[in-house]
Amino acid sequence: MAARHAFEAGAMKLSINGRSVAVDDAAADARMPLLWLLRDVLNLTGTKYGCGVAACGACTVQVDGAAVRACVTPLQAVQGKAIRTIEGLGTAAAPHALQQAWVEQQVPQCGYCQSGMLMAAAALLEAKPEPSDADIDAAITNLCRCGTYPRVRAAIHGAARRLAARRR
Instruction: Give me the residues that bind ligand FES (CB under 6 A), please.
Output: 49-52, 54-59, 69, 71, 108-114, 144-146, 148
**Closer to ligand FES at the Cβ: 13 or 145?**
145
- Least spacing, CB of residue 27 vs ligand FES, in Å: 21
- Residue among 159, 113, 118, 158 nearest 139 (CA): 118
Listing DSSP states for 8-38 in one string gives PSS-EEEEETTEEEEE-TTT--TTSBHHHII
Taking the complex as a whole, the smallest distance from the CB of residue 9 to ligand FES amounts, in Å, to 30
Q: Which is nearer to ligand FES, 22 or 110 (CB)?
A: 110
Q: How far is the CB of 34 from ligand FES (least distance, A)?
A: 10
DSSP string, 89-125: T--SSS--HHHHHHHHTT--SS-TTHHHHHHHHHHHH
* In the complex, least distance from residue 73 CB atom to ligand FES, rounded to whole angstroms: 9
- Smaller CB separation from ligand FES, 25 or 78: 78
Torsion angle in degrees (nearest 10) through CA of 129, 134, 140, 141: -160
Smallest distance, ligand FES to C-beta of residue 1, A: 29
* DSSP state at residue 66: E
Comparing CB distances to ligand FES, the nearer of 59 and 155 is 59
Q: Tell me whether residue 132 or residue 141 sits nearer to ligand FES (CB atom).
A: 141
C-alpha R_g of the chain: 17
